[in-house]
Chain A
Amino acid sequence: MAELPVTKISVASALAGRSPATGQGNPMLIETEALSLYYGQAQALKQITFGIREKVVTAFIGPSGCGKSTLLRCFNRMNDLIDNVRIEGAVRIGGEDINDRSVNVIALRKEVGMVFQRSNPFPKSIYENVAYALRLHGMRNKTELDGMVEQSLRQSALWEEVKDRLQTSALGLSGGQQQRLCIARAIAIKPQIILMDEPASALDPLATARIEDLILELKREYTIIIVTHNMQQAARMSDYTAFFYLGELIEYGATAKIFTSPARKQTEDYVTGRFG
């Protein structure tokens, strides 16, 4: 190898700072079986079969258009909103096929929360943003609501910054604060799983670092799947990494292994920054 790409060094340092992959013995929470997804004629996911363990952070990496976000959105059936989507194969969460006709998508999304790439707080007060889903799912008692709002904001490391202005607009927060509010909003209803679609890609490095700290904190209680374009982020955050390319799952395994000794040439090329 003539040139040693910069990425490899920084990824190595990112890996060096952390403990070996946790959660190796955790049971599988999400399993897919020969999952294929078509947008009309175009196939976006090809025969994906793998399993995601409980209470670990799993990173989905791969070049744009590789299907990682599409796969993420299969787990809370957000693809239902798009016309002409056809799904083959199965997605099971806790053993249950979530595309089964008996599954209520509302109940599913209560268990599988989502944080989007662009922070999208509701144009309501900070308090109402967090209370929104709690109210939807039937919490009416003011004291209970207050308690859950505070707890969620504390968990998302936002409480100290906003406790004196809970009734002001969420749109007055900075980008990083807004994204943490979106996380607070998602965890308020205590989902099992949190899907994160490039949650820090629109944030500055400082705000990104705070989100990353938060994710590491949250994985004690939640199963987290994070789509990211940032190799160092995947290396720092995740216990497992899945590499996708053109709708296929190329390689999946412990993050340290994917980044230091990948089995496939394509994976190595991608994580070392040679393409993508």
Chain B
Amino acid sequence: MREAGSKGSGRFRAARLDLGSFFFSGLTGLATFIILAMLAVILGNIIGQGGSQLSWRFISGGTRHDMFDVQQAGVLPMIVGTAMRVILMTIFVLPVGVITAIYLTEYAHPTSIFTRIIRSAVNNLAGVASIVFGLFGLGFFINFLGRNIDAALHRTETLWGQPALVWASLTLAVMTLPVVIVATEESLKAIPPGLREASLALGATKFETIRKIIFPQALPGIMTGAILAISRAAGEVAPILFTGAAYYMAGLPHRLTDQFMDLGYHVFILSTQSPDIEKTRPILYATVLVLLLLTFALNLVAIFVRARIRKKMRLMH
């Protein structure tokens, strides 16, 4: 029984402690800490060991004679090769991915068997190991497409039917297609249905509605897809192993049919093919750092483009 006027009857004292929340918040904090700590160790190690090796000569020079020698190594061909394959991939993957996503959300019947087949194909594509894409690229793009192009052009020596920048980029585009499709679809679905109705009710055709109302709204989401695709593709080595990456090239790639040197592949070469790993280690660290910086820079470009679009959407002229 409570007595009137008594101070602190204890009514509001906890009957049971919320131990679950206590432990759970601790657990989530720990998980966050582990992730941050791992990132810090990786980045710290790479920046610490690789940063001192970075020099203008290293970044802007090609490799002369011995790529495993610190005095001679330069990564410009790999920077150019990696940047080119990522940019080409983006050019290939965006139109196909965006058009597919528009078809799936705006045109396809949501429950038809055909739509479901496309959707599960996209999902399965996302789950395929990247080395399989490499083999696919070799089999389809080079051995089938490339050789047939050569045959059609009556070429006596092989030009298209061999590993090349264009085939590596296309292989990466196939690999990153699901990312772009899903990101674009999400942004299309987030557009209020009222906008479509408003446009159609004004006598716009479906195509006009998509072109003038829906697509501009989806642009930031499409750029998010591009950013994810770039992040995924920039560091991948497996898909380009058989489709375009060269162990060593004297010059920079000039044509779509040229092979190219690649930062990620070069890291693999440095760590497995070096005659003296101790001597090569500084180059290895510096190359990894350059790869991270390049990926970051490419992402930054896409993020910058997206910010521009968003700003333009807010101001609107």
A residues with CB within 8 A of B: 76, 78, 81, 83, 106-110, 113-114, 116, 118, 120-125, 128, 132-133, 136-137, 167-169, 182, 185-186, 189
Contact = CB atoms under 8 A, between A and B. Distances in A.
B205 interface: yes
Interface in B290-317: 313-317
Given A120-B192, A120-B198, A122-B195, A169 B203 contact: no
B199 interface: yes
Contacts of B205: 106
Contacts of B276: none
Given A106-B205, A189-B202, 7 more contacts: A78-B200, A78-B201, A106-B203, A108-B203, A109-B202, A120-B194, A169-B316
21 contacts: A76-B201, A78-B197, A81-B197, A81-B200, A106-B203, A109-B200, A120-B194, A120-B197, A123-B195, A124-B316, A125-B316, A125-B317, A132-B204, A136-B203, A136-B204, A136-B208, A167-B317, A169-B315, A169-B316, A185-B202, A189-B202
A132 B316 CA distance: 14
Interface in B202-241: 202-205, 208, 212-213, 217
Contact of B198 (A83, A107, A122, A125): A122
B213 A189 contact: no
Nearest to A125: B316
Given A122-B213, A123-B316, A113 B198 contact: no
A137 B203 contact: yes
A83 B317 CA distance: 37
Contact of A109 (B194, B203, B313): B203
A118 B201 contact: no
Given A109-B203, A110-B203, A169-B315, A123 B197 contact: no
Nearest to A78: B201
A118 B213 contact: no
Nearest to B213: A122
Contacts of B198: 116, 120-122, 182, 185
A260 to B, nearest CB: 35
Q: At the interface, is chain A mostly helix, strand, loop or mixed?
A: mixed
Report, nearest first, the 4 A-B pairs whose CB atoms are least far apart.
A120-B194, A133-B202, A109-B203, A114-B201
A116 B200 CA distance: 12
A106 B109 CA distance: 22
Contact of B203 (A81, A107, A116, A122): A107
Given A120-B192, A120-B195, A128 B316 contact: yes
B195 to A, nearest CB: 6
B294 to A, nearest CB: 35
Interface in B166-217: 192, 194-195, 197-205, 208, 212-213, 217
A1 to B, nearest CB: 42
Contacts of A106: 203-205
Contacts of B208: 136
Contacts of A128: 316
A179 to B, nearest CB: 12
Contacts of A136: 202-204, 208
Nearest to A167: B317
A239 to B, nearest CB: 24
Nearest to B212: A132
Contacts of A118: 194
B314 A169 contact: yes
A168 B315 CA distance: 7
A97 to B, nearest CB: 19
Nearest to A137: B203
Given A136-B202, A136-B203, A123 B194 contact: no
A189 B194 CA distance: 20
Given A125-B317, A128-B316, A168-B316, A116 B202 contact: no
B201 A123 contact: no
B24 to A, nearest CB: 39
A114 B194 CA distance: 12
B317 to A, nearest CB: 6
Contacts of A81: 197, 200
Interface string B8-36: 00000000000000000000000000000
B217 A123 contact: yes
Contact of A132 (B202, B217, B313, B315): B202
A2 to B, nearest CB: 44
A132 B195 CA distance: 12
B211 to A, nearest CB: 11
Contacts of A124: 316
B47 to A, nearest CB: 42
Interface in B142-181: none
A121 B197 CA distance: 11
A28 to B, nearest CB: 23
A186 B197 contact: no
A237 to B, nearest CB: 21
